[in-house]
Amino acid sequence: MKDQTHTHYNKAIGIDIGFREISNKLRVAVFATTDQNDEIQHIFVPEVKPILENKRNSNFSKYKHMERLKSNLDQSANDLDQALRPLLKANPLDDNHKKYKLWRSAAKMPAHATLSFEIAYKLARWILHCRKHPHIDMGLTKDAEILIMNWWRQNSRKYREMHNLRAKELEHRKHFYRNIAADLVRLGLPIIIEKDFLAHIAEVKGKSTELKDKARGQRFMVAPSELIGAIQNAAQREGVPFIKVNPRYTSKTCFTCGNVNKNLKSETTWKCGHCRSMHDRDENAARNIGLLD
């Protein structure tokens, strides 16, 4: 892989990476060659069939169902935390106990943090293990054990369901991206992407909002770095040039005439004030990225 090259290619593929919701679908990338006569390719995350078929829930995808399960588990773990943390703090484990780190992760979290359902699940699994092996020192009081096991009985099925669904989705997406990468590399053209594309889709920090939760969910579904990794691996395997370049106003520069639209904000489409060409900003960016070899 090269970060920059001075070789000029007569034809190359530019990739604009990101995610954008279009007609209830998530677009992960746009592929375009530097030849305006070639068709531009839009890559959408693979669709999943509804898993709940009645009319009321017909729009629930596997991903939405996973998010609902996760939300329920988060809330249940938060409720458990309020009752469990005081018990754990009042009965600390020795730092040489086998599960000291697990106890500490639940008992000594910052005041603003709450117990995660993953830690609750691990605590429950530890209790179940100790019940099968009574000679092992569990290190938990009876009250703490009862609280944790009540949580387990109510939520373990949801946890396993969410875990299995997520594993299947990740595997499905991996195969989908590998196939996309194989088709792209088969063209034999140099592949060019922006060097710091992740900076444009960096995770939003701060307090959670509905919009930010949605964006986080979309990032999970899209996983753009996984797509780029698949393309890079395929390109290296087949000896196809894979080039990362520094972005140069790729969205704002008209591919047709080269005029730079410095007033462009977040519009998804725009008209060049010089040659009057209409552009989809991501398609235009992909074309321009292909020129940056």
Q: Per-residue pLDDT tens for 202-241?
A: 444 344 444 455 555 555 567 888 999 999 999 999 999 9
The residue among 59, 27, 62 whose CA lies nearest residue 44 is 27
pLDDT 10s digits, 83-117: 999 999 999 999 999 999 999 999 998 888 889 99
Domain range for residue 74?
A: 58-163
pTM: 0.69
| 232 closest CA partner among 292, 184, 290, 170 | 184
Q: Within a domain: residue 66?
A: yes
Q: With contact defined as beta carbons under 8 Å apart, do 20 and 274 qualify?
A: no
Determine the straight-line distance between the first and last CA of the chain, rounded to whole angstroms: 13
What's the confidence (pLDDT) of residue 66?
A: 81
Backbone angles phi, psi at 79, to 5 degrees: -65, -40
Evaluate the CA torsion angle 24, 234, 168, 221 in order and state its sign: negative
Instruction: Return the percentage of the chain with pLDDT > 90, whole number.
Output: 62
Whether residue 286 is contained in a domain is answered as: no
Task: Indicate whether 276 belongs to any domain.
Answer: no
Provide the number of structural domains found in the chain.
1
Tell me which residue of 265, 264, 286 sits closest to 273, measured CA to CA.
264
Is residue 3 situated within a structural domain? no
Q: Is residue 63 in a domain?
A: yes
Residue 125 lies in a domain: yes
The answer as to whether 141 is a domain residue is yes
Rg over alpha carbons for the chain, rounded to the nearest Å, is 25
Percent of the chain with pLDDT over 70: 82
3-state secondary structure of 186: coil
CB–CB of 12/286 below 8 Å?
Answer: no
CB 173 within 8 A of CB 220: no
